[in-house]
Amino acid sequence: MKKIFTLSILCLGLLTQSFAQTDTTAAPVKVAPKQKITKNVFSTSKLINMQTTEMGAPGALQFMISHHFSEIAPKGAESQMGAQLLGINSGLAYTYLSFDYSPVRWLNLGFAAAGSSKYEGFTKIKLLRQQTGLHNYPVSVAVFSLFGVNTAPDKTITFVGDRFNYVNQLLISRKFNDKLSLQVMPTVVHYNKVPYGVNNDNDVYSVGVGGKYKVSDVVSLDFEYSRQLNMVENVLTSTGNIINYQADLLSVGVELNSGGHQFRFFVGNTTAGSNIDQLTRNTKSIADGNFALGFTINRSMFLGK
């Protein structure tokens, strides 16, 4: 009986040692980090005048109205501010109407009536989404391309291709926290036709920055600034005149999100509706206080299943 008891204790000890060795030598289980994609870097596909890295969800159709009034206090006519209701009742306004649709998550296609017989088509492709986890990308990246055509009568144009102009823009954004998002926007605008002469070029370069600060779930503050790098001073126009454009483009605004609609009220030193004119042919000076009011309304509807 004593031998059986001793043998049982010995077997139990060997079994316990075996389990202990198994537990200590087992390889640790590796758990893949959970992928977290940053959403809503910006609230809408446009900041104020410029595009953002955002686009509608697959199957979403967006309609946007962007309206620029005339100058609040044009230099030499400050006494008319009250009568013209800060430029709202001056009789001059520029409206930009656009539709865009996202067939898939990374692609957006659009069409716009830019005013003054100008029409535009555009596309936005998202190359990278800010995210952490197995793939860690600190920024979102998108490419925006636009072509515009001026259908207004012009006897100086004999080739239809001379009516077309293009915008190509690289959008790089980062959401730093729940409140602050920033973006940089290097841009080139190409003109198929420019007058021959000093300081004229088919390609006009600019670089811009923009951002959003979320005050609450409903209210955000927006800003954007772009600097034109060439074809600014002493530019020969198609009529033979010499003109100086303003290199700086600045806008600030307040964004209101009602859920179904987004409203934005802004002030900036441009009255043009199209990025082509805003980034290459702006004549409104910040130093002279040539600012104008404007607003944007956008509405999205889902066309998918």
CATH number at residue 100: 2.40.160.40
In a domain, 241, yes or no: yes
The Cα 80–Cα 83 span in angstroms is: 5
Per-residue pLDDT, 278:
95
In a domain, 226, yes or no: yes
In a domain, 13, yes or no: no
- The distance between the two most distant Cα atoms of the chain, rounded to a whole number of Å, is 120
Helix (H, G, I), strand (E, B) or coil at 294: strand
Residues with Cβ within 8 Å of residue 246, at least 6 apart in sequence: 228, 232, 269, 282, 283, 284, 285, 286
Is residue 233 a contact partner of residue 199, using CB atoms and an 8 Å limit? yes
In a domain, 44, yes or no: yes
In a domain, 3, yes or no: no
Phi then psi for 300, rounded to 5 degrees?
-110, 145
Domain limits at 223? 35-302
Per-residue pLDDT, 63:
94
Q: Residues 199-224: pLDDT tens digits?
A: 788 999 999 999 999 999 899 999 99
The Cα 52–Cα 46 span in angstroms is: 5
Nearest partner of 226 among 190, 250, 253, judged by Cα: 250
Ordered per-residue pLDDT tens for the chain, 305 residues: 444 444 444 443 444 444 444 444 556 666 767 889 999 999 899 999 999 999 989 999 999 999 998 888 766 665 555 556 666 766 677 899 999 999 999 999 999 999 889 999 999 999 999 999 888 999 999 999 999 999 988 887 888 888 999 999 999 999 999 999 999 999 999 999 887 777 788 999 999 999 999 999 899 999 999 999 999 998 887 777 888 999 999 999 999 987 767 899 999 999 999 999 999 999 999 988 889 999 999 998 888 76
In a domain, 149, yes or no: yes
In a domain, 73, yes or no: yes
Is residue 119 a contact partner of residue 149, using CB atoms and an 8 Å limit? yes
Category of 258 on φ-ψ map: left (φ > 0), alpha (ψ -120 to 50) or beta: alpha
Per-residue pLDDT, 13:
47
